[in-house]
Amino acid sequence: MIRTDRLTLRRARAADLTDPHKVMRQPGAMPDWSTPPPSGLATTPTALDRLLAVDRAGSVEVVREYQSRVIGTAGGGTLPEVGSSCIPGSRGKALAHEAAQAVIALAVANPANDHLIAGVAPGIAASVKLV
């Protein structure tokens, strides 16, 4: 677990189903996904299962908590690729920047990670600027 000034970055837990579902259902929260948002709470476990199944030894994939609720993800399950997601209502507060600094520091602390590749949604100007 990583704590920044305003965020808690931690591994996903099975009890996280409700908040990630809200994130994934927000229009615009996942604009770069190749699949549509989950149609209902019953389909969200598949996405959460992917977060839970991430190789913990070789990844920095975390959920982002802000004010005690999950607002998105940060990092990468398959390094060197990294990215993030965030509910639109939490954008514009520099939370992605705060999360990125912590995740990048963690990723490059591992000597096996000699480079990172950032993935961003081209339609989110702040994400493009962050990279």
pLDDT tens profile 55-89:
666 678 888 899 998 888 888 777 788 888 787 78
| Residue-level pLDDT at 8 | 96
The torsion angles phi and psi of 117, rounded to 5 degrees, stand at -120, 120
Sheet holding 69-75, edge to edge: 2-3, 7-10, 62-66, 69-75, 81-86, 117-118
| Residue-level pLDDT at 65 | 93
| Residue-level pLDDT at 34 | 57
CATH of the domain at 13: 3.40.630.30
Q: Average pLDDT over the chain, rounded to whole?
A: 78
Per-residue pLDDT of the chain (131 residues), as tens digits, is 899 999 999 988 877 767 666 666 666 666 655 566 666 666 655 666 777 776 666 678 888 899 998 888 888 777 788 888 787 788 889 998 999 899 889 888 888 888 888 877 777 777 778 77
Give me the domain span that covers residue 38: 2-130
Q: Which two tokens stand for residue 87?
A: 């509910």
| Residue-level pLDDT at 110 | 82
Distances (CA, A) of 13 to 18, 42, 52, 95, 125: 11, 17, 7, 21, 30
Number of structural domains (the chain) is: 1
86 neighbors 72 (Cβ within 8 angstroms): yes
The Cα–Cα gap between 19 and 112 comes to 33
